[in-house]
Amino acid sequence: MPKCTANELSFGRLGRRRIEANFEGGALSSDGGLMLLRQVDQRIGLSAAVAKALHDPRQCVHVSESTVPREPRTRPIPSSLP
């Protein structure tokens, strides 16, 4: 089977530091990348900056769940089967 993944990814530089990732870590949990991403996001504040930059014209005092149509969570079972 051909190997289709790179051994190392380079994300450029941040100041004098080179940012890179490799996949030679052995046995890791499948959510390890998400935990790292969350920590990086908390440090640099990317999600908070994006949330600040996006304009939402709605006013939360005027929004209620009753104004949003909901789909039924389950479908009714037919009373008679063929």
pLDDT at 44: 92
User: How much is the pTM?
Assistant: 0.34
**Alpha helices by DSSP H, the chain:** 32-44, 46-53
Residue type, 17: R
Whole-number percent of the chain with pLDDT over 90? 9
Asked whether the beta carbons of 23 and 32 are under 8 A apart, the reply is no
Give mean pLDDT, residues 57-77: 67
* Confidence category of residue 22, pLDDT binned at 50, 70, 90: confident
* Confidence category of residue 13, pLDDT binned at 50, 70, 90: confident
CA-only gyration radius of the chain, Å: 23
Tokens standing for 15?
């100041």
Give mean pLDDT, residues 4-25: 79
Q: Which of 30, 24, 19, 18 is nearest to 5 (CA)?
A: 24
